[in-house]
Amino acid sequence: MPLTVETFATFAEAGRAFASARDARFMGGGTLVMRALNEADPAFAHIIRTTDPALRAIRVAGGVLELGAHVTMAMLLANRDAAFLAPVARVIGGPQVRSAATVAGNLFAARPYGDFAGALMALGATAETADGRRMPVEELMRPGVARTLVGAIHVPVPQERLLFAKVSRVKPKGVSVLSIAALLPKRGGRIEGARVVFCGMGPHPMRAAGAERALNGATLDAATIARAAAAATEGLEPADDALASAWYRREVASVHLARVLKEAR
Ligand SMILES: Cc1cc2nc3c(=O)[nH]c(=O)nc-3n(C[C@H](O)[C@H](O)[C@H](O)COP(=O)(O)OP(=O)(O)OC[C@H]3O[C@@H](n4cnc5c(N)ncnc54)[C@H](O)[C@@H]3O)c2cc1C
């Protein structure tokens, strides 16, 4: 099947073209789109891309880190302002993948991918879309949200350390069995507004509502950690795949959450 590739100089033009081409696939760094093409994925024969340099900008203003959609994991790792995201960017694929994989592409990377998106959710990041919306990343990833292009991601710079762990197999090495990102803001020594996100435990990164409930209002002691771990998988929907079974993911999720929380004490 012939392939049409359209390249636009600006994000606005790409956004308009994308809105009127229902069959098109937008390409960011192409780590997944090119793989699909190489595998002759019949789902699309039309690619839209943009070379807009604004999409590669990284800046901080008013306590918010703004990331252009085309910022790659490698660019993040080289930027001091984005240091709080380095532990996450460092474990996305290998060096070749990190040099192309973009922050916006990670939001739309299907399970078991999306480790970076999970961290953005834990940080309460918002996305700026081509149709002028500004919405929480968490909302953008929900099924049924109208498809649109993301131009930038705004990440509140956290006061606390972003907790993160990626759990993958020794062989084959790489892709997550699951990953965990958590932010535990505190007031007067007690956790308030905990955000705990699992990737690989559902069709997209998901908040662990049970764990958050156990953490909020509590101090991070052994009893709280045990309660949060016991409630870790409440409402999550892990699946079987070639890396692990849903059963295995459920079994290990609470163990890894407890480890992540213990490190934060
Ligand atoms: C070998 C390998 C290892 C990997 N390891 C990991 C890993 O450890 N963790 C992980 O999370 N991911 C991993 N990935 C998946 C992938 O590389 C990353 O998720 C990456 O961030 C995707 O970004 P991209 O720019 O390459 O996306 P693309 O391939 O360009 O696009 C992916 C999807 O996102 C959409 N998209 C891209 N940009 C935008 C935008 N601006 N607005 C709207 N939609 C957009 C595309 O239309 C497409 O549907 C791996 C991939 C490979 C091939």
CATH numeric code, 54-156 = 3.30.465.10
CA of 94 from ligand 1 middle (Å) equals 13
What pLDDT sits at residue 201?
A: 97
CA of 42 from ligand 1 middle (Å) equals 19
Q: Which residues fall within 8 angstroms of residue 117, CB to CB, at 6 or more apart?
A: 106, 107, 109, 137, 141, 199, 204, 205
Kindly list the domain boundaries of the chain, sorted by start residue.
4-50, 54-156, 163-263
45-82 pLDDT per residue, tens:
999 999 999 999 999 999 999 999 999 999 999 999 99
CA of 152 from ligand 1 middle (Å) equals 15
Contact of 122 with 196, CB cutoff 8 Å: yes
- The two domains 54-156 and 163-263 share their CATH topology (first three levels equal): no
What pLDDT sits at residue 25?
A: 96
Q: What secondary structure, in 3-state letters, does the chain show?
A: CCCEEEEECCHHHHHHHHHHCCCCEECCCCCCHHHHHHCCCCCCCEEEEECCHHHHCEEEECCEEEEECCCEHHHHHCCHHHHHHHHHHCCCCCHHHHHHCEHHHHHCCCCCCCHHHHHHHHCCCEEEECCCCEEEHHHHCCCCCCCCCEEEEEEECCCCCCEEEEEECCCCCCCEEEEEEEECCEECCEECCCEEEEECCCCCCEECHHHHHHHCCCCCCHHHHHHHHHCCCCCCCCCCCCCCCHHHHHHHHHHHHHHHHHHCC
- Ligand 1: lining residues by beta carbon, under 6 Å: 25-33, 35, 69, 92-93, 97, 100-102, 104-106, 108-109, 113-116, 149-150, 174-176
Partners of 156 in the beta sheet? 64
143-200 pLDDT per residue, tens:
888 888 999 999 999 999 999 999 999 877 789 999 999 999 999 999 999 999 999 9
What pLDDT sits at residue 228?
A: 98
CA of 245 from ligand 1 middle (Å) equals 23
Task: Look up residue 53 and give its two tokens.
Answer: 């340099």
12-34 pLDDT per residue, tens:
999 999 999 988 999 999 999 99
Q: Which residues fall within 8 angstroms of residue 80, CB to CB, at 6 or more apart?
A: none
75-122 pLDDT per residue, tens:
999 999 999 999 999 999 999 999 999 999 999 999 989 999 999 999
Task: Look up residue 201 and give its two tokens.
Answer: 């435990």
Per-residue pLDDT band for 123 (boundaries 50, 70, 90) equals: very high
**Ligand 1 atom nearest to CA at 151:** 41
The least confident of 123-137, 141-155, 217-231 is 141-155
Q: Considering the entire predicted model, what is its pTM?
A: 0.96
What pLDDT sits at residue 172?
A: 72
CATH for 163-263, options being 3.90.1150.10, 3.30.390.50, 3.40.120.10, 3.30.460.10: 3.30.390.50
What pLDDT sits at residue 65?
A: 98
The CA radius of gyration of the chain, in Å to the nearest whole number, is 19
